[in-house]
Amino acid sequence: MRKTRAALLGILALSLWSSLLQATEYSPNEVIVKFRASHPHAAAMMTGADNRPLVIAVDDSDRTLDAFKSSEDIEYVEPNYVIEAETLPDDWPYDGQWMDVGLEKAWGMIAEQGSRKQVIIAVIDSGVDSSHPELQHLIVPGYDFTENDSVPQDDTGHGTKVCGIIGARGNNGVGTAGVAWNIDIAIMPLKFMKHDNGKTTGSLSDAVKAVYYAADNGVDIINASWGFSSYSRALEEAIEDARSRGILFITSAGNSGQNNDEEEHYPSNYASDNVIAVTAMHAYGGLADFANYGIETVHCAAPGVGLVTTIPGGGYAMWVSGTSFATSFVTGVASLVISRSPELSYRSVRESLLTTTVLDGRYSQRLLESGGCIDAHAALLTEETLDKTSKTVSDVPLTGTSESVSLPSAESGGSGGCMVSSVKGSGSSVVLIVCMVVVVLLQVPRQKNLE
């Protein structure tokens, strides 16, 4: 009996240790390094006024991390973490009808009063099926950081699903309609994740490059439907760079059912005021069982169980769930607000979204900073009363005011309590010399895959 018990305890400990390793997985042969601004290497890495981090190849990342932390030449060094898309199986066992999130009223308001700006959205994900009939009119040139080319073709389906929820063609009698189907939006697919043993994963370094790329190329919103459990200063700096250019960063809170106030989850836990962390609600108005929450770290909820959206090959997924897709929903609503009021700062857009959520007493006390689910119509009504002219250093206006956008190529150096009524047409020193070689700068497309 003792031997059996010991064996069981051993298996349990091994399983727990394996889980911890998986939660903090990172490349054993790469690290992310940022030199201090006074160091000669830093000047060599500058892009304009920016000193950005870089990825270097090493023999042993753990030993390199320990060695570099004591170097006076280095501002910081961190692992090149593995990031995973925050989705759930298509057959998540849930059924029901969505309650109202004001979409139909918001669409009617747009139809009656019109919109004034093309909204450019960077979907940093697994790419997109750009030939999908519901999406092909939305897609503008992007980049594939996994293959170092300008064809971000989706090989997992995750990015295509995200794009469909944001803006699939509506009112065409087939398939589904995205949240922002009736305004002028452009989706820039930036691929940093790919298929990996049944999962959709990518490297931290590629995610950081994609954020800088999006900011360098004039987007209004970044959609980041993915996450991981370890803090990264490199990613935080990239998000702050986007903030300095007036870009909203809308990201998923995670699918572990955890309290993010107590357990780390990034990028949703970054405190930058351009970040909106989104969790998922089910059709009956409560928090989805899998959804992360946190009064201090999760800002709002949106539909995230049993959604219909696009998949590669021109088809549709009839049942997708996860905070990834709740995030896409909020990105769509933010696009509606920006399209009507392009003069609003990112902070004002964020305020219009988070001060008008639908409260639900069943979960708001333990769930969210704003207390409830996104309400598209209420957000549009509130943006009319916001100050559209007051701008400060910390209240940067959204990028771009023109009706269309001209995007440079990568080679040029650009480094759910709600009702979805959108189905069926409704719509990544010296010591360097000894132990490593520079692989690629974070601000430019890399030259080979990071395995």
Q: Give the CA count within 13 Å in the CB-facing half-sphere of 223.
A: 40
91 CB neighbour count, 10 Å cutoff: 10
255: left (phi over 0), alpha (psi -120 to 50) or beta: alpha
- DSSP labels for 349-399? HHHHHHTSPEE-TTTTTTS-SS-EE--HHHHHHHHTTS-SS---TTSPBPS
Catalytic status, residue 125: yes
Q: Helices 103-113 and 323-340 sit at what angle, rounded to 10 degrees?
A: 30
Task: Write phi, then psi, for 166 (nearest 5 degrees).
Answer: -70, -50
CA angle 186, 379, 92 (to 5 degrees): 70
Count helices and strands in the chain by DSSP H and E runs: 11, 20
Dist. CA 422–CA 92, nearest whole Å: 20
**Residue in 227, 268, 284, 249 with CA at minimum distance from that of residue 416:** 284
- Phi and psi, residue 233, nearest 5°: -70, -35
404 is catalytic: no
- The reply to whether omega before 267 is within 30° of 0 (cis) is yes
Q: Using H for helix, E for strand and C for coil, what is the string for 291-315?
A: CCECCCCCCEEEECCCEEEEECCCE
- Could you identify the residue written with the tokens 């309290």? 259
- DSSP 8-state assignment for residue 344: S
Q: Any alpha helices (H) in 168-232, and if so which ranges?
A: 204-216
Q: Which of 39, 61, 125, 341 is catalytic?
A: 125
The catalytically annotated residue of 27, 61, 232, 324 is 324
- Please give the full DSSP string across 214-240, using - where no structure is assigned: HHHTT-SEEEE-EEBSS--HHHHHHHH
The set of catalytic residues is 125, 158, 324
